[in-house]
Amino acid sequence: MIVHVLIVAGGRGVRAGDGIPKQYRVVGGKAVLRHAVEAFASHSAVAAVQVVIHPDDATLYAAAIDGLDLPAPVAGGATRQASVLAGLAALHSATHVLIHDAARPFVTAGMIDRVVAALATYTGATPALPVVDSLRSGDATVDGEVDRSRLHRVQTPQGFAWPAIFAAHRAADGPRAPGAQTTDASDDVAVARAAGIDVALVAGDEAAFKLTTPQDFARAEAMLAARMIPRSASGFDVHRFGPGDHLWLCGVRVPHSRGLIGHSDADVGLHALTDALLGTIGAGDIGTHFPPSDPQWRGASSDRFLAHACTLVRAAGGIIDHLDLTIIAEAPKVGPHRAAFAARVGEITGCPSVSIKATTTEGLGFTGRSEGIAAQAVASVRLPG
């Protein structure tokens, strides 16, 4: 069994708010789509993941899956059904396919296991949850009771033998009678059943809910927050003054009567922040990743070091909540540059909360004698439990 996953991400998601399609909104530090892609890509039963996107969303898609090794996305059609058909046509080596809605970011390994296991016996399978509330029919008043014993709340991924579901979607996309209204199947089970395909029911998961409204996004954030562990770490760095007419602090070029000496650009602020972030995931220090003995880092811009540390934190599933930096120096004065420093650090890290502070040592020590600058940083992150 060669299982490919088809993630349908071509919708507009207007009810979710925030101005962009909901599959590209960030939840728990990641795009909704990325959560889903990573869940499938990390599963041992999945051979490949293919995403179908709206043709206008190429830039949003690239940002959402940055760093992941995926095939080029398939351009979707005017309806969900057309998008699925286009995606299925691209899966040339699959024997089976799991079709998943990008708006369900929290698919679990257990759900994938159960759907794949059912496909060993059935042509189709879908995860589903029981209806637990009492159901009544009526308009302004109740006029009857609905038997809920045979009702199910269907989720995705919905799995099928690839030839069968591809043929079913091609038939559903076939010629219609003149004047017939175009319809879009609510899901792939509907297409399969219309083609006479039996679809097994397997246990779903309440965590794999669909994000549709702003309230759903708030629920998702709360659920992820409950799974995360807060962690903080500190970083410290020092560079001495030398010849020059400027220095680099927090990624900003600051005019000064002297420069700072270092193998890279000697940005003491970014170096301290880099070490703090590396400390949150136990990934060594800046010298571990960018050794001063390596000539390729001579004169390098330190924003590269900080961006690398952020990438490692996010690869570990971390969310960077807050960065705090104290610059210790007699000069240059930090106040006139504070806003620029915070903005640049925020730009490099994507962190929504950056604090820049400054102090002196009252004329004591090497900073008090204006021999150099020191910086101390604290990074606060959340990591998966």
Say if 3-212 and 229-384 have the same CATH topology. no
For 3-212, CATH number out of 3.40.50.10490, 3.40.640.10, 1.10.357.10, 3.90.550.10 equals 3.90.550.10
298 φ, ψ (degrees, to nearest 5) = -65, 120
Amino acid at 371: E
Hey, which CATH number is domain 229-384, 3.30.1330.50, 3.30.360.10, 3.30.465.10, 3.40.50.12160? 3.30.1330.50
Give 176-209 pLDDT, tens digit per residue: 545 444 446 779 999 999 999 999 999 999 999 9
Question: What gap in Å lies between CA 100 and CA 155, rounded to an integer?
Answer: 9
CA distance linking residue 85 with residue 74, whole number of Å = 10
Using DSSP's 3-state secondary structure scheme, residue 296 falls into helix
Task: Convert the pLDDT of each residue in 75-115 to its tens digit.
Answer: 999 899 999 999 999 998 999 999 999 999 999 999 999 99
In the chain, the percentage of residues whose pLDDT exceeds 70 is: 96
Distance (Å, whole) CA 327 – CA 376 = 7
Domain borders along the chain are: 3-212, 229-384
**Inter-residue contact 199 to 126 (CB < 8 Å):** yes
Between CA 107 and CA 127 the distance in angstroms is: 10
User: What pTM does this model have?
Assistant: 0.74
Tokens of 42: 């990390």
Rounded to whole angstroms, how far apart are CA atoms 155 and 188?
11
- Cα angle 32, 166, 182 (rounded to 5 degrees) comes to 80
